[in-house]
Amino acid sequence: MKKILITGGAGFIGSALVRHLIKNTNYQALVVDKLTYAGNLESLKDVSSSSRYGFLKLDICDSSIKKVLDDFRPNAIMHLAAESHVDRSIDGPSEFIKTNILGTFNLLEVALSYWKENGKPADFRFQHISTDEVFGSLGESGLFSEATAYDPSSPYSASKASSDHLVRAWHRTYDLPVLITNCSNNYGPYHYPEKLIPLIINNALQGKPLPVYGDGLQVRDWLYVEDHVLALCAVLEKGRVGETYNVGGDSEKTNIQVVRLICEILDEICPCSDNKSYSKQITHVQDRPGHDRRYAIDCTKLKTELGWKQLETFETGIKKTVEWFLANAEWVEAVLKNKYSGERLGAKK
């Protein structure tokens, strides 16, 4: 039985990964998570009773994580712990620098020490999960490839770009067996309500304005989180050491298209009492400072080398997402009540 240590495993993508590993594989998973505002053990409730699941509340900047590795003896580390919201990074970049850069550095150091002390096992992997935002903004055409030059625009993307470079450096300098993935915008169940899709769903149901930044024509490539998880597992099991793999959903949509589609789905399955369309609540607001205009991922390498393909189109994935939020109002209410009230973030200049 292989053991995987997963940092940030109580977050959105991390919890989806853990749920998959426990439900669909024989891996043993140990989650290490600081449980900041976006970490939620309720997202792991479905698998928490499994003998193959474990949890430790711990900051990846803490040196005691070395003892965790020595005790657990993982075959792999899947590093997802990160501060991840662009708007929050604009308001307060220091936490992003600390967690995303210094935390990754600390984790690399303890992983390298652990790997060496155990004879440099050939099957050990340090897998770093990153974002397409490190590449900056595209024009009207073209796609991000693994060879695209880095050009981050926000404190968040700059911190993730830094962490990517550190991981590559630890491979090239110390031979640590690493893998890197850069993904497009994720969405799906258990998504924290500060992000666009869950924010729009929740605001719509509460009769609140549906905020759209600027003209709403910013383009993103949308990736259903469970498809992302399958890609991460494919990279872990079959990826070439030292390589980077882009993960995308082949689903380019403008922000306004996303918002209008959510409104159409809600109009169909949960119509307003006055029979008006939820689209009447759409409100254009001041744009985000330094807002990248377009992201789009070329994941040919992932598909051709590792045989991955996404199972959801945006249309099927977004409907599943809306239905999940409608069916899990208690989870949403608990998050909104205790940690986030839906306020605008990232308007600072």
Q: What pLDDT, in 10s, does the model give residues 202-218? A: 999 999 999 999 999 99
Please report whether residue 81 resides in a domain.
yes
pLDDT at 340: 54
Least confident interval from 177-181, 198-202, 340-344: 340-344
CA geometry: angle at 263 spanning 258 and 267, to 5°?
150
pLDDT at 37: 83
pLDDT at 195: 86
pLDDT at 347: 58
CATH of the domain at 53: 3.40.50.720
Q: Is the pLDDT of residue 120 over 60?
A: yes
Confidence class of residue 345 from pLDDT cuts 50, 70 and 90?
low
Please report whether residue 168 resides in a domain.
yes
**Tally of domains within the chain:** 1
Please report whether residue 25 resides in a domain.
yes
Kindly give, in sequence order, each residue whose CB lies less than 8 Å from that of residue 197, ignoring residues fewer than 6 positions away: 187, 191, 258, 262, 318, 321
Determine contact, residues 135/148, Cβ cutoff 8 Å.
yes
Q: How far apart are CA 64 and CA 283, in angstroms?
A: 47
Please report whether residue 196 resides in a domain.
no
Catalytic residues: 132-133, 156
Please report whether residue 122 resides in a domain.
yes
For 302, the domain range is 3-189+224-250+290-311
